Amino acid sequence: MTGWPPDPVDEAEVEFWRHLETGELRTPQCRRCDARTFPPLGGCPDCGGPEADMAFTAVSGGASLYSWTTIHRPLDDEFEDEAPYTVVVVDLDEGPRMYGLLSASVTIPLAPGMRLTFRPQIFRGRAVPAFTPSS
């Protein structure tokens, strides 16, 4: 919630986007038990390890499509000019579930379980996770 005092900067969030700016998709992974988690939730939800033992490590970029919605009304002025666009929920091959855009050029029909590959995309001037059907 916005207000005073301001929320502290979420360092994990900053790190995620910093990797994405360089074209890399990374998720937190526990050094103790190797479990991956997303979104970052402080420590490791699997083994209870501390945040200090969580490190952002790269994933392969392979994913399966779980669900999607094509947004016609963003209900946020910043995105009105982009509509319609499609947001996907994907299951990364390494386990965690993640949001992304469907790559803008995709026209083939979507189906659950469809194989996708991570391709960073610039959206509203910012690198975001996007996914395109695997060839």
Partner 1 sequence: MSAPYHGRTAIASAFQTEFSQCSGCSVLQLARTACLGAIDAVGLRPKDVDGVVQFGLFNDSVPAEVVGAAIGSGDLSYVMDFAQGGQSACYMAMHAAMAVEAGLANTVLVYRALNGRSGVRIGRVKATGGASGYRYPLGFGAYPHYTAMWARRYLLDTGSTEADLGAIAVALRRWALLNERAVRTTPLSLDDYFASPYIAEPYRVEDCTIEVDGAAAILVTSLERAVDLHAPPIVISGSAWSSHGYDGDMGSSLLYDDYSRNFTNHLRERLWGTAGLGPEDVDVAELYDCFTGALAQNIEGLGLVERGAAGTFAREGHMNLGGRLPVNTNGGLLSEGYLHGMNTLTEAVWQLQGTSGSRQVDGAKVAVACSGAMHSGAAIVLTALR
> Where along the sequence are the contacts to partner 1 (CB under 8 A)?
1-2, 7, 10, 13, 16-17, 38-39, 41, 66-76, 78-79, 82-83, 85, 87, 89, 96-101, 112, 123-124, 126, 128-129
Contact partners, residue 24, CB within 8 Å, separation at least 6: 58
Of 6, 1, 16, residue with least CA distance to 126: 16
Cβ atoms of 41 and 10 within 8 Å: the answer is: no
Q: Whole-number minimum distance, CB 101 to partner 1, in Å?
A: 6
Q: Which is nearer to partner 1, 81 or 135 (CB)?
A: 81
* Amino acid present at 66: Y
Q: Which is nearer to partner 1, 7 or 135 (CB)?
A: 7
